[in-house]
Structure 1
Amino acid sequence: MEFANEPIFQWMSQFAYQPGMVYAGLIAMMALSAVGFPLPEEVTLISVGILAFMGAHPAHFPPPYEGAPVVNVHTAAIIAFTAVVASDTLIYVIGRVFGRKLLYHPRVHKFFPEHMMKRVEEWTHKYGAYACGIFRFTPGLRFPGHLACGMLRYPVWKFLVIDGIAALISVPTQIYLLAHYGEPILKYLRQFKLVLFGIIGLLVIYFVAKKIHQRWAARAASR
């Protein structure tokens, strides 16, 4: 694994032997993603998968000391799945308890423009409870979508089943994919790392600029 000597991978490998920190960060990022934090949860899941791959190959990514604990792929997958479903359910419960007055509260509504809310309403009316699963695969609509599912009082068990199945399909699979097939993927990342970092940088700038624009538009509309 020639790419193992790359500075970026050497820097990342130190976290492969800090499972407690990684698991705590995983829970925090899954919760933040559920409430609309402008960093796709896929970035976190892929990063954890890479760390699990590194921990499974100590010959190429040496531990700080012999017997150091590693990021375990099965533990990470279970924690990620549980954190995602728990976060989604919390948003659902908030929507069920506080209803439309929360979703359309000025401080909440300014983060979700009218066209976004219109799409949420269209999907919930068109697909019913199955919209719970659709929102799981739609990063920008997860938070308002799960709030809407709660507001419409879809049965809790139905929300848990549909959201759980969607999360089971999308969440652990990304971690397992990177953990087991990390070598060819990391080689690819090494070859295109500048392009990758450039794309990530542009995405971050886009999300930040979008949020700033939405705030300005909301302030202008309220005047």
Structure 2
Amino acid sequence: MLDMLGAVDRFGYAGIGTIVFIESFGVPAPGETVIIAGAAYAGRGHFNIFAVALIAFLAAAGGDTLGYWIGRRGGRPLLLRFGRYVRLTPPRLEKVESFMSRHGPKMVIVARFIEGLRQFNGVVAGSTQMPFRKFLLWNLLGALLWVGCWSTAGYFAGNHLDQIAATISHYVVAAVAIAAAALATYFWLRHRRHRRHPVES
């Protein structure tokens, strides 16, 4: 986060817009982080928070719309051919398509907040032939909620962002250890239950 603050300070509004835009049509980039960093700088008085939010919103909505038309024109073969260059492997594509088919337009909003789905949200919506007007409506709403959430969080973090980042990095090892222990316990209990009650053929 501290490195991102430096990048935002150097490249300003253009950097925020560029990173959010390219992430939104499928290129892995720290869009969420750059919004928080830009809003935090606004909280410190270096930027205008409304400008940060507006630029991020337009970039997010525009990038997703470009992704939609890439998916719509190129279809699934294009995603399978070039997806590996942006970490969209066939298994990941199938997972995103499954989410999209089960949840429909609502997934356009939900995917904004899920790493790995956010980047390919528009592309997959286009490749699955979601009607453009329906996509556009949910895309604008999703971008508004996503940008509003993270720009608000970053803005109110403001002068405390350095301390927040330091605290997070200090406790990250403990958090990972606790998560690993919880996961191991879950699989152990599941394995034990399966042994006690095997599925009858």
TM-score by length of structure 1 reads 0.65
Q: Using the alignment, how far apart are the partners of 2:14 and 2:107 within structure 1?
A: 29
Question: Going by fraction, where is helix more abundant, 1 or 2?
Answer: 2
1:140-164 C-alpha deviation (Å, 9 max, x unpaired): 1233332121122212221121121
- Moved segments of 4+, more than 6 Å: none
Structure 2 residue 172 is the aligned partner of structure 1 residue 182 = no
1:81 aligns with 2:71: no
**Structure 2 residue corresponding to 1:156, chosen from 132, 135, 153:** 132
Residue 156 (structure 2) pairs with residue 166 (structure 1): no
Stretches of structure 1 that go unaligned for 5 or more consecutive residues are 1-7, 56-69, 199-223
Alignment partner of 1:34 out of 10, 24, 27: 24
Residue 108 of structure 1 aligns to which amino acid in structure 2?
Answer: G
In structure 2, the CA distance between the partners of 1:141 and 1:177, relative to structure 1 (3 Å rule), is: closer
1:134 positional shift: 2.4
Match of residue 111 from structure 2: 135
Aligned residue identity for 2:30: P
Q: Rate the CA distance shift 1:162–1:170 in 2: closer, same or farther, 3 A.
A: same
Q: TM-score, length-normalised on structure 2?
A: 0.72
**Per-residue deviation at 1:176?**
2.6
Match of 1:220 in 2: none
Counterpart residue number, 2:189: none
Deviations 1:8-27 (A, max 9, x none): 79x85x93xx7xx4110011
Q: How does 1:41-80 map to 2 (within 5 A)?
A: 41-55=31-45, 70-80=46-56
- Identity of counterpart residues, as a percentage? 26
5+ residue gaps, structure 2, are 174-201
Please report the RMSD computed on the Cα atoms of aligned residues, expressed in angstroms: 3.0
* TM-aligned CA distance change 1:197 to 1:47, over 3 Å: farther
Q: Number of aligned residue pairs: give it.
A: 171
Q: Does 2:80 correspond to 1:104?
A: yes
| Partner Cα separation in structure 2 for residue 193 and residue 128 of structure 1 | 35
The answer to whether the aligner puts 1:195 opposite 2:170 as a matched pair is: yes
CA distance in 2, matches of 1:72, 1:166: 22
Structure-1 separation of matches of 2:169 and 2:114? 27
Distance 1:188 1:109, change over 3 A: closer
**Shift in alpha-carbon separation, 1:139–1:99, aligned structure 2, 3 A:** same
| Structure 1: distance between partners of 2:29 and 2:170 | 18
